Amino acid sequence: MGLKKAIVTGGTRGIGKAIVRELATKKIGDDFFADVAFIYNSCDSCADELVAELTALGANVKAYKTDVASFGDVQETVKNIIADFGSVDILVNNAGITKDNLLMRMSEEDFDSVIRVNLKSVFNFTKAVSRQMLKQRGGKIVNISSVVGIIGNPGQANYSSSKAGIIGFTKSIAKEFASRGINVNAVAPGYIKTEMTESLNDNQQNALLEFIPMKRMGTPEDVAKTVLFLSGDDASYITGQVITVDGGMVM
């Protein structure tokens, strides 16, 4: 059994998968840190594999198929998760997409879909868990932003807007919920080795490494360990913050 109950969006690969693994298998004494409900939208076999992998380790993990951009579906799914798990103590808003293009070539659809999946989803899930967290007077919400939400990036006007929006949302809700024992923070990863960044060619990767004092890309585990810290009791006096996990890229 996990000590806490957690929801992680976009759990079947990359950073989200590392977060699910970290929260579900971290041992606190004889217990696991958290039972984890993770959200995925397409790959059923990926979800089944992750549940099987972690169940074999004794962890309690369940997969829920939901489009994070759909307000109605998210409210329904979170209701089901709370019925299945009994409560929700931790929400990690991780799901995200990119549809990069220079502004002159960016379609209205590509702007809207990135905002809906990356930013509106954070509203959808935060709203869905808020009644339960306010009632229990406690909770941790961790939103995955990005360094480009802080410094911008050519070709990513949609993505960087969504990630900057997450930072504004995080700070506003941190202020709304602070007196109710709910911490709301953002993690801003730099360049992390996942399928999302796989499409960068060697030249692009080398150019990026120029700007990273640590001269390496981050791993999903680098981000997951920060999320674990912000989800735990040791981070109880931290709220409304944006923690960069970027090898020193933005400082």
Ligand X SMILES: NC(=O)c1ccc[n+]([C@@H]2O[C@H](COP(=O)([O-])OP(=O)(O)OC[C@H]3O[C@@H](n4cnc5c(N)ncnc54)[C@H](O)[C@@H]3O)[C@@H](O)[C@H]2O)c1
By the rule CB under 6 A, 191 interacts with ligand X: yes
Question: Could you give the angle at which helices 220-231 and 14-25 cross, rounded to 10 degrees?
Answer: 50
By the rule CB under 6 A, 247 interacts with ligand X: no
From 54-62, 65-73, 126-134, 206-214, span contacting ligand X (CB under 6 A): 65-73
By the rule CB under 6 A, 200 interacts with ligand X: no
Interface mask (CB under 6 A) for ligand X, residues 128-167, using x and -? Answer: ----------------x-x---------------------
Sign of CA dihedral 37, 40, 49, 163: negative
Nearer to ligand X, 137 or 216 (CB): 216
β-strand partners of 242: 186
By the rule CB under 6 A, 2 interacts with ligand X: no
By the rule CB under 6 A, 192 interacts with ligand X: yes
From 66-74, 79-87, 132-140, 173-181, span contacting ligand X (CB under 6 A): 66-74
Q: Can you count the helices (H) and strands (E) in the chain?
A: 9, 8
Residue 96 contacts residue 117 (beta carbons within 8 Å):
yes
Catalytic residue among 40, 64, 159, 191: 159
Question: Could you give the angle at which helices 71-85 and 121-135 cross, rounded to 10 degrees?
Answer: 40
- Other beta carbons within 10 angstroms of residue 105's beta carbon come to 9
Q: Measure CA of the first residue to CA of the last residue in the chain; give whole Å.
A: 39
Q: Shortest Cβ distance from residue 178 to ligand X (Å)?
A: 24
Active site (annotated) includes residue 159: yes
- Other beta carbons within 10 angstroms of residue 152's beta carbon come to 13
Sites of contact with ligand X (CB under 6 A): 9-10, 12-16, 39-42, 67-69, 94-97, 117, 144, 146, 189, 191-192, 194-197
Which residues are catalytically annotated? 159
